[in-house]
Amino acid sequence: MRERGPVSTLVFVYGTLMRGGCNHGFLRTARFLGPARVKHVGLYQVSPAFPGAVREQNSVVRGELYQIDEPTLAALDRLEDEGYLYKREMLEVVMEETGVLVKAWVYLWRHGVSPETAVPLEEQPWCHRSRQENRKVDD
């Protein structure tokens, strides 16, 4: 009988978990697979510190795809307050460089959003610093 290795899964991230983000350390054992997009999901600035994605026709969210293990997935569920702030759903994700379509976990915001807080595709992937700088220029 062959011993099975650790179980892994894919997760798409679009905010503070991305490279350079304040929560990227949660992915220190993850394998970065590349930039990716998820369709029919819109991105919103749901707080001054982080974004949230919601199901939305004709929208796209840009982010990053990672291969993670079960302990990392459990840690992300705790970080994202899965079930209260965010709901983890399996969605189709497109790898930007190859066009390959995969299924990955995506954390979707569970609360309301305001149209004026939408993050347009040209300002993605989301970066806390760039959103702050863009607002200063616009003010």
> Position of tokens 């807080």?
117
Distance CA 60, CA 93 (A): 10
Note if the bond before 125 is cis, omega within 30 degrees: yes
Written as one letter, the residue type at 4 is R
Q: Does residue 80 carry a catalytic annotation?
A: yes
- The Cβ of residue 77 has, within 10 Å, a number of other Cβ atoms equal to 15
User: Which of the following is catalytic: 3, 70, 80, 123?
Assistant: 80
Q: Indicate which residues carry an active-site annotation.
A: 80
